[in-house]
Structure 1
Amino acid sequence: MFAEAATRLAGAAGLAFGWMPETFWNATPAELAALVRALAGEEVAPPGAGEIARLKELFPDG
């Protein structure tokens, strides 16, 4: 049951977002949910200063 549902969702992500299977399987549920919300036209708040600082720490330039 899970495999069947996951396969359908992977196909839908491929059609809706142009994702290859590898991209789908490497994405987090939060990433997929954010794209679905954006596709549905929901407003998504931009990250705040704290979140940006955390991301800069996790992914420093250079």
Structure 2
Amino acid sequence: MSGFDWPALMQAGLRGLRLRPAEFWALTPAEFRLMLGEAQGLAPLARDGLEALMRSFPDMNGDVKDG
């Protein structure tokens, strides 16, 4: 089953944005999100997110070198 709420997406595109069906179906998800006013892209990883990742996936030995 798809994770998309197609009726709501189509209503937003066809009624809210007044797109023609061909215009709606030609959009990429990123273009559609931008047209709906959603922020583009993900927020950068902040220090607390990095620390959570480091706790979840610790290095197996401490002598790993960069590069």
How does the TM-score come out when normalised to structure 1? 0.46
- Which protein is bigger by CA-based radius of gyration? 2
Considering fraction of residues, name the structure with more helix: 1
